[in-house]
Structure 1
């Protein structure tokens, strides 16, 4: 394997024994006219993930493309992601998490071609379909009616429009990435926002792989458990505030919209889960004009009165 490949595929994994083979093989089957490596960082899985990876390295025809590291102890998703990014030597980095997989064998080739031709873009990503509990569906992760859409920092302040395992971006060097990640509970969104400071990002509305939703996936658990979902929504608010503060309050309007929208969801969920402290705190940011139901408006008014 060459010391400086054109592309490094960054794959973090933890207890993915049921998924890791498909993820790895989807990368090794890529048709490319350039050199690429698959960097796998295992966060000390307690299942058979390690044995499966080693077996693939030793038996797969393209196993030599894999650069594998297993952590001595579990360091957590964010630390592991930061470690993996710094292990990537390629000019470009693509992400494929250990429980997702690609189906388009020209994915890497097409993304490299795009970035080589468009120097003002720093990130390019595709859409994906959901694999729900092992069943491949036709449901797209991102719902768009256009062929493609370009994004700048302004958009990333408000939301993450990309599917992590379907992106490729320029390797800008990630030595200090943990100083960024320490402020957040997930790494992809702040990473993409940071990249947007260097250039534009393009989302191509074509599905090239599958994004898994299963009982152990981060997104699935966050949606099912109130506390985790609450923290996810708070993280989205904090994300907007962090970047706005860092960029000299250039995006006050966008941050206000994020706070109002997320606070409405937080307040509603908090009331349903009898978490009155959270409901009283976030109701302050809810605009009553956006509440349609009379009963809901009355509840928000009451909570606002209690917040003073």
Structure 2
């Protein structure tokens, strides 16, 4: 792997802003300008890891580095050949020298100029929290759909018992203590964000600030929209990793969560594999909510069955079955 790195000043920053980018020539300048507009009282560094883009992303970044007054805050790396999203994300973390890491994807941007300061102040004041996110604004770049809020947990405090819920906060809003990272973070997975949230829960609570502080661009051709059943199965490797670093996580909840994602997010799937994922989800979800109260048990079974049926109909409508 060949790497290109630009020099930066020798002052140790408080925050490392890690950006992974691939063919983001249309968005990378807006992304970086949203950082430069931040009203942050400390020092930060911007780590850009370009995964061998074939467009003009590199030229745009280098122009900003040489011409923008804050261009010297950027440390630039190019992977040749490319690493893939998860490994590139972990590579960006490995280059971070700050006490805290903030993530920003190269096609997203921050829309609140006090984001970094609010998140930094929160973790400095709350040592029992490992991370803090925010709500974000979902923008459909190539689909005729209205923008909307992302998080279903805006304003909430989440413990590990809640981190298997859906839509916690979008990746480009997360801000966490660098010390939570572990060298055995799995690389043969697809969901680095899900793994990171669960890992954060191993070492503290997570706060989701209520305001929308980032944009999240959705594309019809994105990886998350075109993932196969076989690829999604790789995320089950996250479970032993998380249990290793915090055995108090509920295995039943973790399995329920990943069977749900396998059933829901696989856009290329056979009916037999869908039923396998659905049965796994039903079994572990009912077990995780098991109660001797017949009404509560019936409710858990009814809701699980309803969810499977709903996901089946969505797959059918989207022509996902092969």
Quickly name the TM-score band, shorter chain normalised: 0.7 to 0.9
1:291 to 290, 294, 305: 305
* CA shift for structure 1 position 256: 5.4
Aligned twin of 2:113: 105
**Measured at CA, do residues 133 and 90 of structure 1 come closer, stay the same or move farther in structure 2, by a change above 3 Å?**
same
The whole-number CA distance in structure 1 between the counterparts of 2:86 and 2:75 is 20
Structure 1: gaps spanning 5 or more residues: 297-308
The whole-number CA distance in structure 2 between the counterparts of 1:8 and 1:260 is 34
**Measured at CA, do residues 112 and 217 of structure 1 come closer, stay the same or move farther in structure 2, by a change above 3 Å?**
same
**Measured at CA, do residues 79 and 30 of structure 1 come closer, stay the same or move farther in structure 2, by a change above 3 Å?**
same
* TM-score (normalised: structure 2): 0.76
* CA shift for structure 1 position 280: 5.0
Confirm or deny that 1:44 pairs with 2:52: yes
Aligned twin of 2:292: none
Task: Say whether the 8 Å CA contact 1:43–1:70 is kept in structure 2.
Answer: yes
Query: Which runs of at least 4 in structure 1 moved beyond 6 Å after TM superposition?
Result: none
The whole-number CA distance in structure 2 between the counterparts of 1:247 and 1:44 is 36
* CA shift for structure 1 position 158: 4.7
| Matching of residues 40-119 of structure 1 within 5 Å | 40-119=48-127
Aligned twin of 2:148: 139
* CA shift for structure 1 position 9: 0.4
Task: Say whether the 8 Å CA contact 2:190–2:235 is kept in structure 1.
Answer: no
* CA shift for structure 1 position 60: 1.0
2:159 to 148, 152, 157: 152
The whole-number CA distance in structure 1 between the counterparts of 2:229 and 2:59 is 36
Aligned twin of 2:273: 278
The whole-number CA distance in structure 2 between the counterparts of 1:60 and 1:10 is 19
1:200 to 198, 202, 205: 205
**Measured at CA, do residues 47 and 259 of structure 1 come closer, stay the same or move farther in structure 2, by a change above 3 Å?**
closer
**Measured at CA, do residues 162 and 55 of structure 1 come closer, stay the same or move farther in structure 2, by a change above 3 Å?**
same
The whole-number CA distance in structure 1 between the counterparts of 2:133 and 2:127 is 15
**Measured at CA, do residues 16 and 41 of structure 1 come closer, stay the same or move farther in structure 2, by a change above 3 Å?**
same
Aligned twin of 1:230: 229
The whole-number CA distance in structure 1 between the counterparts of 2:264 and 2:220 is 23
The DSSP-based 3-state class of the residue aligned with 1:41 is strand
The whole-number CA distance in structure 1 between the counterparts of 2:95 and 2:147 is 34
* CA shift for structure 1 position 249: 7.1
**Measured at CA, do residues 165 and 49 of structure 1 come closer, stay the same or move farther in structure 2, by a change above 3 Å?**
same
Aligned twin of 2:171: 164
**Measured at CA, do residues 232 and 156 of structure 1 come closer, stay the same or move farther in structure 2, by a change above 3 Å?**
farther
Aligned twin of 1:187: 192
The DSSP-based 3-state class of the residue aligned with 1:47 is coil
| Matching of residues 14-53 of structure 1 within 5 Å | 14-53=22-61
Moved more, 179-188 or 58-67: 179-188
The whole-number CA distance in structure 2 between the counterparts of 1:11 and 1:50 is 13
Structure 2: gaps spanning 5 or more residues: 1-8, 284-300, 311-322
Matched length:
281
Moved more, 155-164 or 247-256: 247-256
Root-mean-square deviation over aligned CA pairs: 3.1
* CA shift for structure 1 position 40: 0.5
